[in-house]
Chain A
Amino acid sequence: AQKVTQTQTSISVMEKTTVTMDCVYETQDSSYFLFWYKQTASGEIVFLIRQDSYKKENATVGHYSLNFQKPKSSIGLIITATQIEDSAVYFCAMREFTNAYKVIFGKGTHLHVLP
């Protein structure tokens, strides 16, 4: 069954430090896509970064990067040099090939970046 789990409900970090948010997933597929989305205080949900399961290199976009550990079914989001405006809820998501490409989300991690 398709499942995405984020165990960290809330994290607080000091500005300009690095934070890692955890996500583990369950899938029977050999091919799938993993995503991280950010929901701001206004409620807007925006795409941040994606990892294709068949790619060994960790994806990087700006100050976001991923720690993809396929044997552990884990996809961590790393934010370096955090800024106040990074404060938001971060969702991990998975899209499977055989499950008609349905997208399932974790419950989210609330990141608080403190000055």
Chain B
Amino acid sequence: NAGVIQTPRHKVTGKGQEATLWCEPISGHSAVFWYRQTIVQGLEFLTYFRNQAPIDDSGMPKERFSAQMPNQSHSTLKIQSTQPQDSAVYLCASSFDWGGDGQNTLYFGAGTRLSVL
């Protein structure tokens, strides 16, 4: 089991450019989460998929951020017209949806560090 895989590990974009971040959850996990981590805000919830369906995107900045999960093996987070304040580490995590012992734990990827110049 390779764990949650996020690509790229680092991405540098110019202000106004688009950035697409990729996540491959652990096989068999039906819940996929995206978080943004900064020094000031900590781990901010962005959005959550369950069995590929978007469940809660209450943490997503509505205008420029979008997330998709076209199949059970990957999810993408797209940021249009990136701004310097979007610079952060974007973390993907997956878990079993709900169940008995051990099935609610999140497993995190290594993250993508986005730098907007």
Chain A interface residues toward B at CB < 8 A: 33, 35, 37, 43-47, 50, 91, 93, 95, 99-108
Contact = CB atoms under 8 A, between A and B. Distances in A.
Nearest to B43: A105
Q: Is the interface of A mostly helix, strand, loop or mixed?
A: strand
**Chain B, interface size: which category?**
20 to 34
26 contacts: A35-B104, A35-B105, A35-B106, A43-B89, A43-B111, A44-B108, A44-B110, A47-B105, A50-B104, A93-B106, A99-B56, A100-B48, A100-B50, A100-B55, A100-B56, A101-B31, A101-B98, A101-B104, A102-B55, A102-B56, A105-B35, A105-B43, A105-B45, A106-B42, A108-B42, A108-B43
Interface of B: 31, 33, 35, 41-43, 45, 48, 50, 55-56, 89, 91, 93, 97-98, 104-108, 110-111
A44 B108 CA distance: 8
B108 A50 contact: no
A104 B42 CA distance: 11
A103 B91 contact: no
Given A101-B31, A105-B43, A106-B42, A50 B50 contact: no
B104 A33 contact: yes
Nearest to B48: A102
Contacts of A95: 104
Nearest to A108: B42
Given A43-B89, A45-B91, A50-B105, 12 more contacts: A35-B104, A37-B108, A43-B110, A44-B108, A45-B93, A47-B106, A93-B106, A103-B93, A105-B35, A105-B43, A107-B42, A108-B43
